Structure 1
Amino acid sequence: MPVQVSVAVAVVVGSLALAASTFVGLTLAVGEPFYAKIWRETELMLGGSVPDGELSAWRATRDAVVLMGVGVAASVAVVVAGTVPLFGTVIGGVLGIAVSGWMLAGDLLARPLEARGLDAAQRSELTRGARSEVFGFGVTAQALFLVPLGAVVVMPAAVVGATMLARDLVAAREPAPTADPSETF
């Protein structure tokens, strides 16, 4: 009986992770024009010019489909992890939030980083260099998305947060300006 309960709970947790990932992917695809405007306004508010790179509608749709596909794969992993006796439910839940959060952070950071000319490999390298910041951002956003209608309410703030995080990540990567030795006081 305990194994059956564990499997049932694992399936429920996996289903919730799949539903959350799918909903986030659909939210990103449908809300793309709104999120693009929020991103531009955030860039202007933070100073400087808006990077000129642009995400096409096809790119946004492809990203949403990829996010949903990875969400399905993550859900399968969560269900498998959830079948571990005694601790499976906890492991499955934590794994589901962690994987979904990392994927969400990567997706939200894509626009501001692509606009700065970073391709997928460069974005991956940059986010790996700041795992704790990216992971914390993504997991927090994902946890808030699990609240009913949370994604609708939180997504604009998540876009602003991703823009600010992307600017910080790029600024930390760039070498600090050095003083000209010919300029002395």
Structure 2
Amino acid sequence: MRSLRDFASGVGFFFQGLGWMSRHGRWWLFGLIPAVIAFAVYVAALILLGANAREVAEFFTPFADSWSWADLFRTLVGIAIFLGGLALAVLTFAALTLVIGEPFYERLSAEVDPLPGAVEQPWWRTLPRSIRDSLITLFYVLLFTVPLFFLGFVPVIGQTVVPVLGAFVSGFFLTVELTTLALERRGVPRKERFALLRRNMGVTLGFGVVGFLLFLVPLVAIVAMPAAVAGAALLVRTRIAPNPPTPLPPTTP
């Protein structure tokens, strides 16, 4: 029962972020800018992938040249490649948007979660570290999602268990990305951030899963991104690290 309450609490924090943004429309418009840029990048990349999926499938399946059903097989492989690219886009949308919008979301997170004594670093100093942390997180995401992708082709399990596991894995790492700003401002290093979120797994999953499901809808993903940043700041302030130590200046990467 406690796990369910924690999960529901995590979902609630996401909607608290929506509520905060609805009361601060100027900040919502401010936070939409990097989300629109990231969305445009992904749309262009997916169009390019879709237009060339068959050629990519042929490149990776030279062994099928002599098969009588090679065309059908490569069509299915091309569809799988495109769906894999689409899934990767959903999984990495928040990370890319946060990297693009570092100066935007730093200000938004600080507005939602004012922290007396915090020393703000210029965005060009924190950007390399943000990129590095996002790449490390992406490595862990792929470590879990690549096996799940192939398990998705297993009858029954692939259509029932795997999507649920995928949503939970994606939700956890989405929360990792979104809470980075607020936790970094508290001087919490990456390894400790992971440990904090694991200790609060129920609320972490609740927040991340609802965000992941909303991010599956393209235009909703753009609108929801600033609310996700605000909700993550509230989650950290209220639940994950409500009584932080005096923040220290982030180390220069």
TM-score class normalised by the smaller sequence: 0.7 to 0.9
Instruction: State the alpha-carbon separation in 1 of the partners of residues 117 and 145 from structure 2.
Output: 37
Aligned to 2:162: 92
Query: Which of 242, 250, 253 matches 1:171?
Result: 242
Aligned to 2:101: 31
Structure 2: unaligned runs, 5 residues or longer:
1-72, 246-253
Aligned to 2:64: none
Q: Which moved more, 1:95-104 or 1:63-72?
A: 63-72
Structure 1 residue 166 displacement after superposition: 0.7
* Pairing 1:131–2:201 present: yes
AA aligned to 1:90 is: T
Judged with a 3 Å threshold, the aligned counterparts in structure 2 of structure 1 residues 130 and 172 are, in CA distance, closer, same or farther, namely farther
Q: Which moved more, 1:92-101 or 1:62-71?
A: 62-71
Judged with a 3 Å threshold, the aligned counterparts in structure 2 of structure 1 residues 165 and 57 are, in CA distance, closer, same or farther, namely same
Q: Which moved more, 1:127-136 or 1:87-96?
A: 87-96
* Pairing 1:78–2:145 present: no
Check whether the contact 1:10–1:79 (CA below 8 A) recurs between aligned residues: no
Check whether the contact 1:71–1:100 (CA below 8 A) recurs between aligned residues: yes
AA aligned to 1:52 is: V
Aligned Cα root-mean-square deviation (Å): 2.8
Aligned to 2:213: 143
Aligned to 2:42: none
Structure 1: unaligned runs, 5 residues or longer:
175-185
Instruction: State the alpha-carbon separation in 2 of the partners of residues 160 and 50 from structure 1.
Output: 20
Judged with a 3 Å threshold, the aligned counterparts in structure 2 of structure 1 residues 155 and 32 are, in CA distance, closer, same or farther, namely same
Aligned to 1:181: none
Instruction: State the alpha-carbon separation in 2 of the partners of residues 113 and 170 from structure 1.
Output: 8
Aligned to 2:116: 49
Judged with a 3 Å threshold, the aligned counterparts in structure 2 of structure 1 residues 28 and 61 are, in CA distance, closer, same or farther, namely same
Structure 1 residue 150 displacement after superposition: 2.6
Instruction: State the alpha-carbon separation in 1 of the partners of residues 232 and 101 from structure 2.
Output: 15
Check whether the contact 1:110–1:123 (CA below 8 A) recurs between aligned residues: yes
AA aligned to 1:98 is: F
**Cα deviation per residue 1:113-172 (whole Å; 9 max; x = unaligned)?**
121122223222221221111110011111111111233211111111111111122127
Instruction: State the alpha-carbon separation in 1 of the partners of residues 93 and 195 from structure 2.
Output: 27
Judged with a 3 Å threshold, the aligned counterparts in structure 2 of structure 1 residues 172 and 84 are, in CA distance, closer, same or farther, namely farther
> Tell me, what secondary structure is at the counterpart of 1:80?
helix
> Tell me, what secondary structure is at the counterpart of 1:166?
helix
Q: Which moved more, 1:119-128 or 1:49-58?
A: 49-58
Instruction: State the alpha-carbon separation in 1 of the partners of residues 82 and 144 from structure 2.
Output: 14
Which one scores higher on RCO, CA 8 angstroms, separation ≥ 6? 2
